[in-house]
Amino acid sequence: MPSKPAPPITMDAVYAAPGYLFRRMQQIAVSIFMEECKAFDLTPVQYAALVAIHTHPGIDATRLSAVIAFDRSTLGSVIERLQAKDYIERKPATEDKRIKLLYLTRQGAGILKDIIPAVERAQARMLEPLKPADRKTLMTLLVQLVDLNNEASRVPLRAEDALEHLGKAG
């Protein structure tokens, strides 16, 4: 019995692969974000970190990484850069000498407030080529897929972790 013939190797197979499309779309999304926000000198990651610190003042780096689902190693340099720009400050925790608590500075809170319209323009532009109904469908499916694949990523999203520093048990 002859074995199945191997399918031909084509670029079209690459172009249609989910992984390739996710990569391309992410690159396009970053490109649009940077274009709309170039006046603010903030990257998408730095923006997400600022929002999380704004929402959870006094969070530490490890929990921050869980809240935005970014790698903890990467986050170290992100925090350094935000600190160098005077958008955040780090204060050692009194009860636990390992932990450094993160807070927005006045400038950080200011730039966060100012950049929001540009961020919203960027997010809208990413989906603009689709019809409104299709935008909604795509976002709904993507939210589902990211959520159902949460554990597949090295840094699963743990939104509730952010509350632990307020004394709630894990």
What residues line the site for a second copy (CB under 8 A)?
A: 6-7, 9-11, 13-33, 44, 48, 51-52, 54-55, 67-69, 112-113, 116, 119, 122-123, 125-127, 129-130, 134, 137-139, 141-146, 148-149, 152-155, 157, 159, 162
In the structure encoding, which two tokens stand for residue 95, read together? 């009860």
Residue 96 binding: pick among DNA, a second copy, none (C-beta 5-8 Å cut-off by kind) = DNA
Q: Is 69 left (phi over 0), alpha (psi -120 to 50) or beta?
A: left
Dihedral (CA of 65, 28, 141, 133) sign: positive
Residue 38 binding: pick among a second copy, DNA, none (C-beta 5-8 Å cut-off by kind) = none
- Give the residues lining the site for DNA (CB under 7 A): 23, 27, 30-31, 34, 43-46, 60-63, 70-74, 76-79, 81, 95-100, 153-155
Residue 157 binding: pick among DNA, a second copy, none (C-beta 5-8 Å cut-off by kind) = a second copy
In the structure encoding, which two tokens stand for residue 124, read together? 């809208």
> Considering the complex, what minimum distance in angstroms separates the CB of residue 49 from a second copy?
10
What is the side-by-side order of every strand in the sheet holding 88-92?
59-60, 100-104, 88-92
> Considering the complex, what minimum distance in angstroms separates the CB of residue 81 from DNA?
5
Q: What are phi and psi of 89, to 5 degrees?
A: -135, 155
To which H or E segment does residue 104 belong? strand 100-104
> Residue 96 and residue 76: Cα distance in Å, rounded?
19
Residue 146 binding: pick among a second copy, DNA, none (C-beta 5-8 Å cut-off by kind) = a second copy
Q: Given the complex with a second copy, which of 55 and 96 has the nearer CB atom? A: 55
